[in-house]
């Protein structure tokens, strides 16, 4: 049994309203959906994170085979989500025989959790245009969406029923594998989290669920990092590192192109090491020169 519980998260991007003018150049051409965890949470209360959560058995259910279009369907753009023997299918053990592949179920988890936490439903209609690309995701409005959100929060398998009754399926093709972080061993609650990157054309009015999440907003990487520096935002290492990584991109189009191209390469697991110091803690990442020995967990 693994020390780490399996989880998925979505880094959801949208275009920024900032534009260039003759006097000023805005480098933040995109915003990211970030949520603030409720102070009632036992794990990371009041921390700012990306939408996501732990996997559930229903996320890999064979029932998804009758909901998600055939894996050879061009609408899923399978060369982007790691099929056909690409390395992206090999970085985690696969699901039980009969279940859908792991690289699909992890995306189902991410989409389900995003819906539970923010109310954003990253799904497509079954009869959508077959020529539609996977370059961007969309929020699907359905009847009684608030009721469905509560039902899925109550029981993860209700997400299957949501898709069946509303003739839709999780837009797995719009989620691009981005990174894989392990929680440091010293923390009691540990997760093996796969981060996926997705782009949505325009920001959706997301709303906290009042249970796990208390606030949420679309912000630029610089805005979030600036609030963190002055103590107005609490971030853990994966979010901090990924925001620094994302802010290097000056064009959302270049970022999406890069994400789609590199997704099929898979990714390595990152295990930060935490060292206690006199005035706090020091987080070390792989290949940090400070690490002189090998660690096994």
pTM for this predicted structure: 0.84
Which CATH number do you get for residue 105?
A: 3.90.79.10
Confidence category of residue 283, pLDDT binned at 50, 70, 90: confident
Relative to beta strand 123-125, strand 280-284 is unpaired
> Measuring CA to CA, which residue among 201, 202, 184 is closest to residue 192?
184
Q: Does residue 285 sit within a domain?
A: no
Task: Dump pLDDT digits (tens) for 92-121.
Answer: 556 676 778 888 899 999 999 999 999 999
Q: What percent of the chain has pLDDT above 90?
A: 47
Question: Which residue's entry shows tokens 């592949």?
Answer: 101
Count of residues for the chain? Answer: 297
81-90 as b/e, with b when 16 or more CB fall inside 10 Å?
A: bbbeebebbe
pLDDT at res. 25: 45
Question: Which residue's entry shows tokens 């709303």?
Answer: 207
For residues 18 and 29, what is the distance between their CA atoms, to the nearest angstrom?
Answer: 7
Confidence category of residue 24, pLDDT binned at 50, 70, 90: very low
- Domain residues for the domain of 14 are 5-268
Q: Does residue 212 sit within a domain?
A: yes
Whether the predicted pLDDT of 212 surpasses 50:
yes
Q: What percent of the chain has pLDDT above 70?
A: 79
Total domain count for the chain?
1
For residues 195 and 32, what is the distance between their CA atoms, to the nearest angstrom?
Answer: 14
Confidence category of residue 251, pLDDT binned at 50, 70, 90: confident
- Cβ–Cβ under 8 Å, residues 44 and 236: yes
Q: Does residue 289 sit within a domain?
A: no
Q: Does residue 275 sit within a domain?
A: no
Whether the predicted pLDDT of 195 surpasses 80:
yes
For residues 212 and 215, what is the distance between their CA atoms, to the nearest angstrom?
Answer: 10
Q: Does residue 287 sit within a domain?
A: no
Q: What angle do CA 42, 4, 199 make, to 5 degrees?
A: 80
pLDDT at res. 135: 55
Whether the predicted pLDDT of 234 surpasses 80:
yes
Higher pLDDT, 74 or 181: 181
Lowest mean pLDDT among 3-17, 41-55, 109-123, 233-247: 41-55
Q: Does residue 295 sit within a domain?
A: no
Q: Does residue 119 sit within a domain?
A: yes
Higher pLDDT, 287 or 121: 121
Q: Does residue 278 sit within a domain?
A: no
pLDDT at res. 92: 55
């Amino acid at each position: 049994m693994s020390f780490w519980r399996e989880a998925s998260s979505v880094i959801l991007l949208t275009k920024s309203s900032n534009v260039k003018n003759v006097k000023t150049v805005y480098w933040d051409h995109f915003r990211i959906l970030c949520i603030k965890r409720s102070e009632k949470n036992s794990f990371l209360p009041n921390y700012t994170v990306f939408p996501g959560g732990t996997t559930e058995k229903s996320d890999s259910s064979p029932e998804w085979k009758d909901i998600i279009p055939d894996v050879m369907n061009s609408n899923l753009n399978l060369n982007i989500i790691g099929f056909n023997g690409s390395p992206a299918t090999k970085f985690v053990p696969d699901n039980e025989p009969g279940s859908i592949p792991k690289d699909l179920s992890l995306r189902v988890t991410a989409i389900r959790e995003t819906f539970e936490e923010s109310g954003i439903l990253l799904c497509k209609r079954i009869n959508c245009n077959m020529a539609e690309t996977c370059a961007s995701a969309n929020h699907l409005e359905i009847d009684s969406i608030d009721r469905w959100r509560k039902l899925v929060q109550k029981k993860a398998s209700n997400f299957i029923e949501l898709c069946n009754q509303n003739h839709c399926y999780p837009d797995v093709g719009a989620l691009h594998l981005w990174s894989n972080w392990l929680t440091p061993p010293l923390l009691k609650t540990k997760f093996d989290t796969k981060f996926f990157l997705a782009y949505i054309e325009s920001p959706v009015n997301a709303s906290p669920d009042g249970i796990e999440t208390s606030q949420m907003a679309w912000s630029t990487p610089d805005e979030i990092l600036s609030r963190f520096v002055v103590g107005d935002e609490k971030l853990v290492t994966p979010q901090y590192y990924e925001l620094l990584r994302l802010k290097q991109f000056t064009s959302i189009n270049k970022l999406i192109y890069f994400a789609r191209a590199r997704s099929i390469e898979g990714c390595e697991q990152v295990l930060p090491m935490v060292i206690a110091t006199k005035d706090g803690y020091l987080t070390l990442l792989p290949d940090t020169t400070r690490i002189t020995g090998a660690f096994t967990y």
